[in-house]
A and B are shown apart, each in its own frame.
Chain A
Amino acid sequence: MAAGKVSDMPIAGSVLRGMRNPFRSLSRALAVVLLLSLVIGFLALMVQATLASRQKITAMEGRVRTLIELREAGAFGTGGFGGDKPIGEEHFSVDTLENVLRIPSARHLARVDEYVYKPDIDPSRRNAYAMVIGLHPGAALRAIGEVDYENARIVAGRSLIPEDAKARVAVVGRLYAQQRLGIEETSGAAIAGRQLVLGGRPFQVIGVYATENDFGDNHVFVPIGTFRDIYHPGRKLSKIFVTVDSVANVETVVADLRQRLPEADVVTTPEAVSTARTTLGSLSVASAYAAVLLFAIGAVLIVFVMILSTRERIREIGTLKAIGASNAEVAVQFLAEAAALSGLGGLGAALLAAPLARILSRVLELPVAFDAQAMAFILTGSIAFAALGSLYPVIRGVRLSPIEAMRRIG
């Protein structure tokens, strides 16, 4: 027999026997594996959620702190809705943009995006007053007034891409889609072939986005080139967003901008982050607690099962020792059994966590990934449970003399 070679090793025999043992009581093994799958699966997810929310806080802090908003001097907070100054007044214009690029600290500018707005008024609609925003495809879909962290999130279709530069395509807000286009259930199928009219021209709806509030969900984003073709805003711009390459350089850039651009208000947003930070922070703490709790549950579960199975088989331990098994061989057999159970639990956990990660990502709006890292957690979790759970009962059982072991009833 070819397989004879591996099983020639005494330890290999014990390992194999141990791995067969969970199947003695199929129903119990099934129950334990199911429970373990749940515990380990959720554990991995919670750990991932903790990490994801921490990462997101860090990323967000960096992103927001390095973001500077430029708007026309004296315009009101949310960006001069509708306009203290009608389009055509060109104090805040393409020239401003060029000046931004020429500030002394220009090398610290990671990204500069210009936006131009125009209200889209239709008194015949319930939602009479929406906003059309032109921007370079690829720039963040920043709803008006949202300087901050939550960029619009695509919920159906797609966002604008560079190929759309001159195309008559639009990404609309959820509220706009509902109230102006009559799309109740947002989905890819619902927007397929839908059009809207801007400045008398038809636009293809390619995507729907959502923010946290209705106001932000009431815009139409179109490529800035198309916007200019239709509305002819001339050199006028509504806003410029400047992203600085690192937090350390923000002050220098702000100082330069303030000095060089008298026509603009320079707004930084360090405080915008604080609300989001609190929310994410408590999420991260909650998932960390959940992870600890789940870990404890998993460990107790395996300890309990292994105590049960060593107790049940204490006579068998006695028999094995009586017919010549060493303590090590008996211990290895039981450890292998625990490892087999936990391993199956880990497998179940992987099957469970993969789809749950997707759901959780949606619900928490966090990138709770199911990736190599999650798999590593599941693996470590299973091994930890096997080791933790079996060590005490196995050592206790194995140390009995064969006669003591055989005398114990059940």
Chain B
Amino acid sequence: MSSQIVTDARSALIELRDVAKIYRKGREEVRALDGIGLAVAEKGMVAIVGPSGSGKSSLLHIIGAMDRPTRGEVIVAGEPLNARPEAGLTSFRRKTVGFVFQSFNLIPNLSALENVMLPMEFDGVAGDERRRRANRLLDRVGLAARLGHRPRELSGGEQQRVAIARALANNPPLILADEPTGNLDSRTGQMIYELLKEIAGERTVLVVTHAEGLAQMADRILHLKDGKLVADDPSQGLKKQPVDRPGTTGSA
């Protein structure tokens, strides 16, 4: 096992053991993830950084049961995902994770409120309860006044806040966000991060980012390169790890 840094796995919400994702196209082989071992604690914000193509999204997708690894074990909230059949992954995505995408991915002809109610509908929550919870969540992300608005009637930052409310809908212990501020200006991005940070007080938030300043807000930063975990720091560590960032300052 080469470049794995595994923290204490006993109270871990997420545990990965020797996970690999290999894409084959004809004779070519892309090792998107290569022998990842990792444990992530309950609660707190973890940033995943690394150059383009280093496997950040692939890692997030495998943790979120959006994709299966080529090899290795993935255990989330005590449940090994490998063992689950397709239907089991659906209920996992429904209850255990909330996904936040770079391009928001709201359903365009549904209102903000309806978008937030959707995951609860899939989870069989009664209509009244759905509405009440969606109202509360939208209030929490500061959109109490925009309940009936369609996505196209909202700004990018507002859409992403709706998406975050939607991710929280079934109260999952894990939120996965893939470059959630990639389509936003830096001031709005900052606000989104503050929101995610606040959410991380009560659950685990895994966030992929290119924005260094934002990564600094995390409790822990994972560095990926060529599908391998090359560094794992508590947040100030970005400065002492000269992974691939020419602009980094100083050292510890």
**A→B interface (CB under 8 Å):** 1, 3-5, 7-8, 10, 13, 17, 20-21, 23-24, 315-316, 318-327, 329, 401-403, 406
With A10-B124, A403-B66 as given contacts, are A24 and B108 in contact (CB-CB < 8 Å)?
Answer: yes
Q: Which residue of A lies closest to B108 (CB)?
A: A24
C-alpha gap A10/B130 in the complex (Å): 12
With A8-B126, A10-B124, A20-B109 as given contacts, are A324 and B119 in contact (CB-CB < 8 Å)?
Answer: yes
With A13-B121, A329-B122, A401-B66 as given contacts, are A1 and B127 in contact (CB-CB < 8 Å)?
Answer: yes
C-alpha gap A8/B129 in the complex (Å): 10
C-alpha gap A139/B66 in the complex (Å): 80
Q: Which residue of A lies closest to B114 (CB)?
A: A17
Does B17 lie at the interface of the complex (its beta carbon under 8 Å from any beta carbon of A)?
no
Does B149 lie at the interface of the complex (its beta carbon under 8 Å from any beta carbon of A)?
no
Q: How far is the CB of B113 from chain A (nearest CB, A)?
A: 13
Max count, chain B CB within 10 A of own CB: residue among A1, A315, A319, A325? A319
Per-position 1/0 for B76-90, Cβ under 8 A of A: 000000000011001
- Among A7, A23, A320, point to the contact of B127 (Cβ < 8 A): A7
Q: Which residue of A lies closest to B67 (CB)?
A: A403
Does B93 lie at the interface of the complex (its beta carbon under 8 Å from any beta carbon of A)?
yes
Max count, chain A CB within 10 A of own CB: residue among B90, B91, B119? B90
B94 / chain A contacts, CB cutoff of 8 Å: 323-324
Cβ contact within 8 Å between B126 and A10 = no
C-alpha gap A251/B26 in the complex (Å): 82
A10 / chain B contacts, CB cutoff of 8 Å: 121-122, 124
Cβ contact within 8 Å between B105 and A315 = yes
For window 29-63 of chain B, which residues contact chain A by CB distance below 8 Å?
Answer: 61
C-alpha gap A327/B87 in the complex (Å): 9
Q: Which residue of B lies closest to A25 (CB)?
A: B109
Cβ contact within 8 Å between A324 and B128 = no
B121 / chain A contacts, CB cutoff of 8 Å: 7, 10, 13
* 20 A-B pairs with C-beta separation under 8 A: A1-B127, A1-B128, A4-B126, A8-B126, A8-B127, A10-B124, A316-B105, A316-B107, A319-B107, A322-B64, A323-B99, A323-B118, A323-B119, A324-B91, A324-B170, A325-B90, A326-B87, A401-B67, A402-B67, A406-B105
18 additional A-B residue pairs with CB within 8 Å, beyond A320-B118, A322-B99, A324-B170: A4-B126, A7-B121, A8-B127, A17-B110, A24-B108, A316-B105, A320-B107, A322-B64, A322-B105, A323-B118, A323-B169, A325-B90, A326-B90, A327-B86, A327-B90, A402-B66, A403-B66, A403-B67
Cβ contact within 8 Å between B93 and A321 = yes
B131 / chain A contacts, CB cutoff of 8 Å: 1
With A8-B126, A323-B119 as given contacts, are A403 and B107 in contact (CB-CB < 8 Å)?
Answer: no
Does B101 lie at the interface of the complex (its beta carbon under 8 Å from any beta carbon of A)?
yes
With A10-B122, A324-B170 as given contacts, are A319 and B105 in contact (CB-CB < 8 Å)?
Answer: yes
- Among B86, B93, B109, point to the contact of A323 (Cβ < 8 A): B93
Cβ contact within 8 Å between B93 and A322 = yes
Does B225 lie at the interface of the complex (its beta carbon under 8 Å from any beta carbon of A)?
no
C-alpha gap A96/B169 in the complex (Å): 95
C-alpha gap A323/B122 in the complex (Å): 8
C-alpha gap A20/B110 in the complex (Å): 9
Q: How far is the CB of B53 from chain A (nearest CB, A)?
A: 14
Interface pairs A-B: 4 shortest CB-CB: A324-B94, A4-B127, A324-B122, A319-B105
